[in-house]
Amino acid sequence: MQNYEESVSFLRTWGPFQRKIFVVLCLACVPCGYNILSVIFLLASPPHHCDIPDHSNLSQEWIHASIPVKQVAGQLTRSSCSRYELDLVRNLSTMGASPNWMQNQSAQQGLRPEVLSNLRQEDCKDGWTHSTEYFQSTVVTETWRHLSLTMSLPGLACIPLWWLVPESPRWLLSHGHLPEAELLLRSAALENQVEAPTVIFLPPKAERAGSQKAESVSFLGLLKTANIRRVTMKLWLIWFSMSICYFGLSFSMSTLYGNPFLNYFLLTAVELPAFFASWLAARSFPRRLSFISFSLLGALALLFIQVTMHSHPDLTMFLVLLGKFGVLAGNGLVYTYTGELFPTVIRNTAMSSCAMFSKVGSSVSPYLLEMAGFNELLPWIIVGVLSLLNIFLCIFLPETFRQPLPDTIEQMPVTQWFT
């Protein structure tokens, strides 16, 4: 097929037509991010404890004392899955005793003041009472049908935007719809106020007569030679682990202290300088060195969280933001790096395959929250270690900065140590 880029160069690169499509596609992507990250709030589990029903006829003092207190991460918290046996508590209340009086009596007799801790405990037979300090309703407290409708509304609102996006001229041409492709490009030329050539694409017969058969490379071409196979496998792992890091950071936000809405706002706001830094690095610095520098910054910040988690909450939040900055800046840079590593004949296939492994990583990332049940520092440690793994893999990739893009698999640069 004739050179598509040369054939459509009359449109120029950034006219009204391209700007309109860019804006519409950006707006259409908003529901995707909303649906993915809204689960941080919709699936949140607010602090909760066993419910004490109204018919128990207990005073507020006894209701509060009916929930056992335990120490978690150096702090006293109320149990979320058990209570003292309600019949025993009711009997003590009927006898006229009070929690404070019982503790004072135990202290005077030289016994442990936590006299209530000796009472038998039971499960939350009457359900739970959830805190409404930050969340009025979540999946934990409401029906899923109501929240599913909430999540669907942004996507439904963006459906009309797709009527503003035309079909791809390249796709039309590759499927033999030459008149439709030319009509679309001539319409775009009018919008950009440029003049289209008399003949944009050669007719199929003339094209076959004047050119050689184009090289056809399938998905298996990514594994065709040892060189491209090494690059492909490394990038698949990098995209997979980077997606776990990005979404794992967002989902693990719920384990941080403080207002979750403020924490989420800060984690989102740091994406602007991260992408700006990624853009500057892509313009002026080597790809490999930039990616390694951003990833190392994120890894060190996230691994250092285990030192500050319980003693310095403000410093912990700063380290989380610094880790998110490094991870996201590296994530933005890897798109450019991946496109430059693969040859033209298989570049789109390679990018699609990397995106597929990225989606697998995003599907795995919510399980990091389950690991927090064993150790609340475990998600941060895993994300930090994965960032270090990305650094190790990137060391063995070739540099592409200011290098000509390869057109064929044979033109790919050889993977090697730092050069």
E strand segments, 10-96: 48-50, 69-72, 75-78, 83-84
Check residue 309 and give its pLDDT: 82
Do residues 244 and 367 touch, judged by C-beta distance below 8 A? Answer: no
Amino acid at 144: W
Which of 67, 99, 130 lies at the terminal end of a domain, its last residue? 130
Tokens representing 265? 């706002």
Same domain, 353 and 281: yes
Task: Give me the mean pLDDT over the 74-99 stretch.
Answer: 81
Higher per-residue confidence, 277 vs 86: 277
Q: What is the Cα–Cα distance from 170 to 352, expressed in whole angstroms?
A: 17
Task: Classify residue 418: in a domain, yes or no.
Answer: no
Same domain, 58 and 23: no
Q: What is the Cα–Cα distance from 270 to 327, expressed in whole angstroms?
A: 11
| Closest of 118, 126, 137 to residue 45, by C-alpha | 137
Which of 185, 212, 239 lies at the terminal end of a domain, its last residue? 212
Q: Structural domain of residue 116, as residue ranges?
A: 48-130
Check residue 209 and give its pLDDT: 39
Task: Classify residue 417: in a domain, yes or no.
Answer: no
The torsion region of residue 375 among left (phi > 0), alpha (psi -120 to 50) and beta comes to beta
Same domain, 227 and 311: yes
Amino acid at 286: P
Same domain, 231 and 341: yes
Do residues 238 and 367 touch, judged by C-beta distance below 8 A? Answer: no
Phi and psi, residue 80, nearest 5°: -105, -5
Task: Classify residue 416: in a domain, yes or no.
Answer: no
Q: What is the band of 292 on the pLDDT scale with cuts at 50, 70, 90?
A: very high
Query: Which residue has tokens 């475990």?
Result: 378
Which of 178, 212, 246 lies at the terminal end of a domain, its last residue? 212
Check residue 112 and give its pLDDT: 47
CATH code where residue 232 lies: 1.20.1250.20
Task: Classify residue 419: in a domain, yes or no.
Answer: no
Tokens representing 221? 């071409």
Give the ranges where 304-364 is alpha helix by DSSP (H). 305-308, 313-341, 347-364
Same domain, 177 and 222: no
Over residues 147-206, the pLDDT tens digits come to 555 666 666 777 777 778 888 887 777 667 888 888 888 888 898 888 888 887 777 654
Q: What is the Cα–Cα distance from 320 to 303, expressed in whole angstroms?
A: 10
Check residue 370 and give its pLDDT: 78
Over residues 10-33, the pLDDT tens digits come to 888 788 888 988 888 888 777 777
Decide if pLDDT at 95 tops 70: yes
What DSSP line would sit under 246-270, residue for residue?
HHHHHHGGGGSSS-HHHHHHHHHHT
Please state whether beta strands 69-72 and 75-78 pair in parallel, antiparallel, or not at all (unpaired): antiparallel
Task: Classify residue 392: in a domain, yes or no.
Answer: yes
Domain count of the fold of the chain: 3
| Closest of 282, 292, 320 to residue 401, by C-alpha | 282
Helices 313-341 and 226-251 pack at an angle, to 10 degrees, of 150
Task: Classify residue 196: in a domain, yes or no.
Answer: yes
Decide if pLDDT at 108 tops 90: no
Same domain, 235 and 356: yes
Same domain, 28 and 79: no
pLDDT over 90 for what percent of the chain? 27
Q: What is the Cα–Cα distance from 8 to 201, expressed in whole angstroms?
A: 9
Over residues 208-225, the pLDDT tens digits come to 433 444 455 778 889 888
Same domain, 328 and 374: yes
Same domain, 191 and 326: no
Over residues 77-89, the pLDDT tens digits come to 788 888 888 888 8
Task: Give me the mean pLDDT over the 282-291 stretch.
Answer: 94
Q: What is the Cα–Cα distance from 29 to 6, expressed in whole angstroms?
A: 30
Do residues 307 and 254 touch, judged by C-beta distance below 8 A? Answer: no
Check residue 140 and give its pLDDT: 67
Burial class (CB in 10 A: 0-12, 13-18, 19+), 361: buried
Check residue 286 and give its pLDDT: 94
Same domain, 120 and 173: no
Same domain, 254 and 363: yes
pLDDT over 70 for what percent of the chain? 84
Same domain, 306 and 180: no
| Closest of 404, 257, 265, 248 to residue 317, by C-alpha | 257
Check residue 1 and give its pLDDT: 46
Task: Give me the mean pLDDT over the 283-287 stretch.
Answer: 93
Amino acid at 78: R
Tell me the residue length of the chain: 419
- Average of per-residue pLDDT values in the chain: 81
